[in-house]
Amino acid sequence: MIRKISLVFVVSMMITGCTTTGTFNVPPGSELYINERPQPVDIKADGKVTTEPFFWSAAGIPPESGIPYRLEKDGKVIKEGKLRTKFRTASIFWPPFADIYWPMGFNPDITYDLVNDIQE
């Protein structure tokens, strides 16, 4: 029984340690690019975006710091800026040393409203 509980714990830590999820509101028909990645993120119908975590350089509060983003529509940039982040407690427990490489993630307690420029 203890082995099964330990296995479930380890698997759940692996899953939560590898990703970060945020809720977004973006203009219809636009594509969201995060952290200068070449592909747009997949935004689910409920606005959820799940992606890899971010390095320390994403720490901070916009406009000076945060995760860089850009919105594109029809191949043209319509908005760009930075997103608020939150330290991922799971990174402390995620080997090898995720607290060094991937400590920052989306803040799950807010909605990134990129239509009205509100991150609350």
Domain spans of the chain, in order of start: 2-115
Which of these, 20, 13, 12, lies nearest to 105 by C-alpha position?
20
What residues contact residue 95 under an 8 Å CB cut-off, 6+ apart? none
pTM of the model: 0.76
Which tokens hold the place of 77? 């940039």
Task: Say which amino acid occupies 60.
Answer: G
pLDDT in tens, 15-73: 445 788 999 999 999 999 999 899 999 999 999 999 988 887 888 888 888 999 999 99
| Matching residue, tokens 């009205």 | 116
